[in-house]
A = this chain, B = another copy of it.
Amino acid sequence: MRSNQLIKIIIIDDHDLLREGISARLQDVPYVEIIAEGSNGREAVDLCQRLQPDVLLMDISMPVMNGLEAAEIIRETGIKTRILFLSIYDDNEYIQEALRIGANGFVLKDVSKPEMLNAIKSVAQGATYLGPKVAASLQKGADAQTECATNYGLTKREKQVLALIAEGQLNKEIAYRLDISIRTVESHRSAVRDKTGGGNAARLAKIARDLGL
C-alpha cells in the first residue's frame, strides 16, 4: 500500500455525530475513501466481508456487538482488513485485548487530524500504530507490573524458593537444589504463604508468575 494509493475505509461507531465528524475530516483527503459506515459490531463484520476494505475504523463500546467481538470474528474469517480502534477509553484491559485479537492500531477519540491520518496510513501499510496516550497507558501498566514484582517483602531466599515452586518443583527437589533441608524449604514456603496470602501450591505459582517468575 503506497501512500498515493487509495485507502478504502469503513467507519463503525454508534454515535452519528462522531461518524459525521470523521467523515468531514477525511472528505478532503485525496488518498482516503470512505466506502461504508455502520453503527455496531454486527454491521462491521457484514460490511467487511462484503466490501473488503483496507482499514476498519471502529469504536469499541457499541450496542448489539462491541468492537472487540467484531474484530475477533473478522480475524477468524481471515479477511485482510486492518483494524484501527478509536476509543474514548485508554483502559489497559481494552488495549491489551485489542492487540491480543490482532488489531493493527489503537487511538483515542481526542486524536488530532494529522495523527489520525498518520495512524490510518500506518495501519494501511500493515504497521501497528498506538497513539501517544495509548502507548503511555500500556507502559504504565508494564511499570506497575514491574513495581509489583518487588513487593510482598519477600527475602532473597524466599523468592528463590517461590520461583522453584512456580516451576512445579517438589519441596524435596527444591531442598536438593538449594542444598538445604526439606524442613527449611517448608519454613520458607510457609513464610511466602503468610506474606502473599496464598494458600494452595497452584496459587503460589500464580503469584510467582504475576511477579515475573
Contact = CB atoms under 8 A, between A and B. Distances in A.
A210 to B, nearest CB: 10
Main secondary structure of the interface of A (DSSP, over half): helix
Interface string A111-141: 0001100110110011111111111101100
A199 interface: yes
Interface residues of A, number: 42
Given A100-B142, A135-B104, A167 B206 contact: yes
A139 to B, nearest CB: 6
B200 A169 contact: yes
Contacts of A102: 139, 142
A203 interface: yes
Contacts of A119: 127
A202 interface: yes
